[in-house]
Amino acid sequence: MQFLVLAAALLFSHAAFPNPSVKIINFGSSLRKIQQTLLKNPNAKSIEVWDQFAENLIPQDAKSFIWQKSISNWEESRQRKIKIWSDDLKTKKSDYFFAFNKIENAIRKYIPALSKTLGEPIPSRIYIMGVSGAEAIFSFDGTERGNLILGVDEILSKNLDPETVAVHELVHMFRANRIDYSSTSSGTQNLLKVSLFEEGLAINLTEKHLGKIKIVNHPPYRRPFKVTEQNLKDYVLRIKFDIDKSTDAKGLREVYSKWFVPDEVRDENYMAYRIGYEIFKKLSAKFSIKALNTWDKKTIESKVSEVLQNW
C-alpha cells in the first residue's frame, strides 16, 4: 500500500525536528510473549496481558495517535481492539513473528542509504506492530521528526513482501515531512498528480535498493508491470482524462480509489503505481533525486502535467 492519502492510512500534522538516529520499537518478541501467556492461561484477560508485555513499549506522546485518543471512547476502543488482536494472536505461527525481524533488518540496512540518497535526516521513531490495521501509518507528534507504524498483520494478510513494503514506506516517511499531503488547499488535480509523483519516487527508490525483481514480483505490481508500452499509453490518456475532470473533493476520492486503491475487479487496479513509476523515471533522467526531493507541490504538479501532456 502503499501511500493511501485518502484511505486513513495517513495521519499527520506538520512538524520538523531533525533527529540523527532512529528508534525502532519492534513488538515481535512482546507479541510472542502475549501469545505464550494466553495459550498457557486461557482465563487470562487479554487487556491485562497486553498491558504487561506491550503497552510500555509505546512512549506516552505516541499513544495519542496509536490509540486515537482524539475520539471520546478511545479506551473502550483500545480494549476492544486488543481483545480481537489477542484472540487472533493465539493462532499465529513462527513465520508471523519472523516477519517482524525481517522488517527491522530491512529498516536498519536501508535507512542510512535512503537518507543519503534523498539528502534527508533520519526519522525519529519506527514502530513494527501487528496491530495497526493498515500497512503504514504516519504521524508527527510536534516534538520529533515523525513516526512510522508498519502493520505486520496487514502486510502478511495481503501476501506482501515485508522487505519491499518496509523500504517503500520508509521513502514515504522521509518525504512526508516535506509536503503536507493532508491539505487539499492546492486543489484536487494537484493532489492526484503529486500522488503519482510520490508513488513513482517510492517504487523507483525501492527498485534502486532492492532490485527490479523485487518490484515486478511484488503482488500489487505484477499486473501493472506486465503492461506493454502501447497499452500503458492508453492508461496514461485515461488517467489524465480522469484527473482533468476532477474538480472537487468527491471527484478526487473517486479518481484516487479508481487508480490507487487495489481492487482486482477494476481494470485500473494499481495502475497508477506503474504510471507514477514511469513518470519519475522520465523526470530523474533530467534531474537528480536530491533535486527532485526539494520540489514543492506546485513544482511537482507542473512537471507531472508536462510529462502526462507529452507522453
- Cα separation, 136 vs 112, in Å, equals 20
Query: Is residue 298's pLDDT more than 80?
Result: yes
Mean pLDDT taken over the chain? 83
What average pLDDT score do residues 278-295 get?
A: 96
Return the pLDDT at 142: 47
Q: Confidence band (pLDDT; 50, 70, 90) for 120?
A: confident
Return the pLDDT at 267: 83
How does DSSP assign 255-283, residue by residue?
HHHHHTS--TTSTTTTHHHHHHHHHHHHH
195, 181, 185: which is closest to 242 by C-alpha?
195
pTM of the full structure: 0.83
Q: Confidence band (pLDDT; 50, 70, 90) for 180?
A: low
Strands 136-139 and 147-151: antiparallel
Q: Confidence band (pLDDT; 50, 70, 90) for 211?
A: very high
CA dist 168 → 106, 191, 297 (Å) = 11, 19, 20
Answer whether 166's CB lies under 8 Å from 103's CB.
yes
Cell of 159: 501476501
Query: Is residue 144's pLDDT more than 80?
Result: no
DSSP class of residue 91? T
CB within 8 Å of 115: residues ≥ 6 apart: 121, 122, 174
What average pLDDT score do residues 36-65 get?
A: 88
Quick: pLDDT tens for 223-247: 899 999 889 999 999 999 999 888 7
Answer whether 130's CB lies under 8 Å from 30's CB.
no
- Cα separation, 35 vs 94, in Å, equals 11
Q: Confidence band (pLDDT; 50, 70, 90) for 266?
A: confident
Q: Confidence band (pLDDT; 50, 70, 90) for 145?
A: low
Query: Is residue 192's pLDDT more than 80?
Result: yes
Query: Is residue 44's pLDDT more than 50?
Result: yes
Q: Confidence band (pLDDT; 50, 70, 90) for 146?
A: low
Domain coordinates of the chain in residue numbers?
23-176, 188-309
Query: Is residue 26's pLDDT more than 50?
Result: yes
Return the pLDDT at 8: 27
Query: Is residue 197's pLDDT more than 80?
Result: yes
Answer whether 293's CB lies under 8 Å from 178's CB.
yes
